Amino acid sequence: MNTSDERLITRLMDLRMYLDQRINDLNIQLEKVKSLYQLLDEVILARSFYRASAITQHSPRQPELPPEKLDTVPIKTSAGLLLAHLHIQDDEVRIVPAKELALSVKTPPFQSFLIDRILGPMRDGSRDEVHKGNIAPTEAFSYDIITDGDALESIVIHNYISRKRLREIVSSTRWTFEKMLERATASR
């Protein structure tokens, strides 16, 4: 091997060592970013979801809620406008939009985002798990859209499986309802 080849190999090995170190550093950064992301998710969940029982404990002006309403969580905009109530019971979640919003299922991005990109793929993935035999059909994720004409009355979600998935559903619903509200107010 001549000196030119030796220098090239030395440079290539130096570059490879540099890339190995860079990959290691990026992996460490990625883990830190993932940890921060998870921490943010937990803080957002803790700060944006209030069980009705917690609200009545901190606000003496509100009446006591009956026991069947203890798993009701308001979904609000960052400005505090009530968008919907989330009613959680066992493996079922019912999202009921605030009546005064009068949301229509025809208002974008309800179908294009919430149904086609969030709930639909969750349902399809769950169906695949049923076909593979990983879960029973009764454990499969599913949803029902309850309407009165075009007016959205509620979204009923069955077998949401985990708190992480529930957070994703609530976050996506909040964003969707905010966008629907913006479109509805802009068209008036």
- Is it the case that residue 63 has pLDDT exceeding 60? no
- Is it the case that residue 116 has pLDDT exceeding 70? yes
Contact (Cβ atoms closer than 8 angstroms) between residue 157 and residue 119: yes
> How far apart (Å, rounded) are the C-alpha atoms in residues 147 and 120?
18
Contact (Cβ atoms closer than 8 angstroms) between residue 172 and residue 114: yes
> How far apart (Å, rounded) are the C-alpha atoms in residues 150 and 16?
61
For residue 108, the one-letter residue type is P
Least confident of 8-12, 54-58, 116-120, 130-134: 54-58
How confident is the model over 141-152, as pLDDT tens digits? 999 999 999 899
pLDDT in the model for residue 184: 77
Alpha-carbon 104 to chain mean position: 21
Domain borders along the chain are 1-48, 51-186
